[in-house]
Amino acid sequence: MMERNKIKPTHLARNSVIYVRQSTATQLERNRESTDRQYRLAERAVDLGWRRDQVIVIDEDLGCTGSGAIERPGFNRMASDVALGRIGIIFGLEASRLARNSSDWYRLIDLAGMTDTLIADADGIYHPGLFNDRLLLGLKGTMSEAELHMIRARLTGGIQNKAARGKLRCHIPIGYVWWDDEMKFHPDEAIVSAIRSVFERFSELGSARQVWLWFRNQCLPFPNQHKNGEITWEQARYWQIKEVLRNPVYAGVYTFGKSRKERRMDSTGRIRYRVRNLPQEEWQVFIRDHHEGFVDWQTFESIQARMRNNSPASSPEVGGAVREGAALLQGLATCGRCARRFHVKYDGRNSSPGYYCPGTIFVDGKAKSCLIVGARKIDAAVVKVFLETMNSVGIEAALIAEENLEADYDSAIEQWRLEVERVSYEAKRAERRYRAVEPENRLVARGLEAEWEKCLRKLSTAEESLREREKKRPRKLTECEKERLKDLATDIGLVWSSPTTTDRDRKELLRTVLEEVNIRLEPGVLKAYLTLYWRGGEITELDVDLGPRKVPTFRTDEDTIELLGRLARLYPDQVIANILNRQGRRTASGERFTAHNVKRLRKSWKIPTFEPQPEEDGEVVAIDKAAEILGIGSSTLHRYLADGFVAGEQLTPGAPWRIRITDELRARFTDESPDGWVPMKTAIALLGVSRQTIMQRIKRGELQAICSRYGRRKELRVKLPKKQDLGNTGQLTLF
């Protein structure tokens, strides 16, 4: 009765809110009674005097925790309505349903006290504006937060205690399963074999990318485990190979607590959470030899070191994976001044390799590279020492290479046999499912029949691929061939210089025995001082002469230089190069001329650069410009040049034609034809000679001709004399 006294008409005039919340989706699914009790609070609001249309149920936060870790849109909407004075009372099953953190709880009761809003739970009705009720609500909110803390502490303590013993069933990578609180290899032999192949191929190839390419080249599927535990076989992906190589579980290590959840505030003032991966020394649980691993811990550490070195050379400690290119010390060479790893560069027409230090030094206030040196002589010196050292162990290397070749093939063929076995099982299972269904139930039978046919096609493809690969099995070496291989191994230099040995292979060979090659240069001395650090601790020092190579001297022909001097006054370098190439001339080294070659020759012989002159009347211009001035086409002007109607200049065969524009030449091209000038066809008919004869007479000055417009085109017109000499007969024809 006293509780009803707190309800005033002002409260009944406003809405009542039923706040419904469950912390997780699991609770929402399994603890249905608690959810139903919260919804039934609407009946209590009606019993206390609120109309049914005034009862508002807010259940937007079902599945959201009340700890403040995430935002609750329903709670925020309710707090806003309380602040606006729209709510008379808030119903909740208990204080923990409204909030489990003090910041949200005290914000709500502060707003409720200022706006005269009641709060009701299973124990009674409270007015936050009254001291005793506010004190009781504060205690309930604090106890709710403390209860959550204690629940979490008990659960976390139990999890950590079980994880410390290695018994906690956490997520494990593909290739393992939990069996009686122990991690065992997956019972599927194909999955285990695929994981083993990753580590075996990495020990041979030394790169995660090369392992991935090996799987793709062999067309081998790779197991992929989904979140629901289902395993499918798909084409291998690069990230899958890297995850296998980087996961310590495959080395027999049990780990827990490798990441940490951190809370931060964003620019809008909201609390955000992120997961940060911790370094190995900060992991909560790290148990070696917890279960049987695919590799031991020492091998796993060497794999991680190799993968770090394979990363791009962005820091002095990283050398990068071997790549194509002629610089053999890529990833091994270091600067003798600052100890940074050298970067590789390729310069010149032949892409000559070189090394340069990424660090910079300042000379006279200008930044320059710390050290730059060519690679050919340094690489040759290192290779010479390497070959001398490797000759003593060449026989063992040859035998190991033969074994690796056979093991590589056996590993791939075993994977395919397991694939055939797996697909065969799927086909038999699909067949059993199809035969188990009633024939009359065609809706189900059709789907099972299609699945069976699909499995049979996959089985046929897998068997055909297995047969093809078995046919391609590499032939085993005979005893005679093994003896020859041993003889060849005594001189590893032949293998090194073989055309089938790539630069990538040579780099891999160098890395097997060398850890670092330190290069140091002294100012003013054409020598490089090398320090070779071998695996095992041995050190070798070398002095390499960097003097200039003796290059045979070549000299360009004298007539080519003389012609270049004449052409340079009239044409740019590119045009000169085209002229020289059309004449069949070559540089001193026997190559075609380019603008760069011409420019270099001009500078060597101190020939001035071409400077174009202004094109004025009476000046010599190019044929395109002349055609534009005369108002005809370039092809027509070329024909007039050949006929001799227009005079032109050509400095040398193959050079562009040049025409001198004069008033007399301009007068030959008119728009109107004077009286007494006839077209060329008429002149040929009247004179009784060919066009070539008339053009020769025009060229000698015996006849006159102009180019005038006839309709929309221009044509030649000839002025004929009154008497025409017909030759030695002395006869004259009058017109």
Which residues are known catalytic residues?
23
Pairing between β-strand 254-256 and β-strand 285-287 as defined by DSSP bridges = antiparallel
Q: Which of 466, 464, 429, 419 is nearest to 190 (CA)?
A: 419
Q: What angle do CA 492, 497, 500 make, to 5 degrees?
A: 105
Say how far apart CA 728 and CA 243 lie, in whole Å: 104
Say how far apart CA 91 and CA 38 lie, in whole Å: 9
For residue 319, give the DSSP letter: -
Say how far apart CA 336 and CA 338 lie, in whole Å: 6
Say how far apart CA 619 and CA 631 lie, in whole Å: 17
Laid out side by side, the sheet with 514-521 consists of: 333-335, 514-521, 527-534, 539-545
- Whether residue 285 contacts residue 254, with contact meaning beta carbons closer than 8 Å, is answered with yes
Which amino acid is present at 225? Answer: Q
- Whether residue 18 contacts residue 41, with contact meaning beta carbons closer than 8 Å, is answered with yes
How many residues can be counted in the chain?
A: 735
DSSP per-residue codes, 468-498 = HHHHTPPPPPPHHHHHHHHHHHT-HHHHHT-
Say how far apart CA 375 and CA 257 lie, in whole Å: 48
Structural element, H or E, at residue 622: strand 620-622
Dihedral of alpha carbons 270, 271, 277, 279, sign: positive
Q: Which of 552, 556, 570 is nearest to 603 (CA)?
A: 556
Q: Which of 293, 291, 292, 286 is nearest to 164 (CA)?
A: 286
Collect all residues with Cβ–Cβ distance below 8 Å to 663 and sequence separation of at least 6: 617, 618
- Whether residue 416 contacts residue 469, with contact meaning beta carbons closer than 8 Å, is answered with yes
Helix runs in 206-248, H state only: 208-217, 238-246
Say how far apart CA 239 and CA 276 lie, in whole Å: 20
Say how far apart CA 170 and CA 176 lie, in whole Å: 12
Structural element, H or E, at residue 663: helix 663-667
DSSP per-residue codes, 329-355 = TTTTEEETTT-PBPEEEEETTTTEEEE
Q: Which of 351, 357, 359 is nearest to 324 (CA)?
A: 351
Collect all residues with Cβ–Cβ distance below 8 Å to 19 and sequence separation of at least 6: 38, 58, 61, 74, 75, 78, 90, 91, 92, 97, 98
- Whether residue 595 contacts residue 564, with contact meaning beta carbons closer than 8 Å, is answered with no
240-273 CB burial, b ≥16 within 10 A, e <16:
bbbebbebbbbbbbbbbbeeeeeeeeeeeeeeee
- Look up residue 133 and give its two tokens: 């009720």
- Whether residue 517 contacts residue 373, with contact meaning beta carbons closer than 8 Å, is answered with no
Say how far apart CA 662 and CA 649 lie, in whole Å: 14
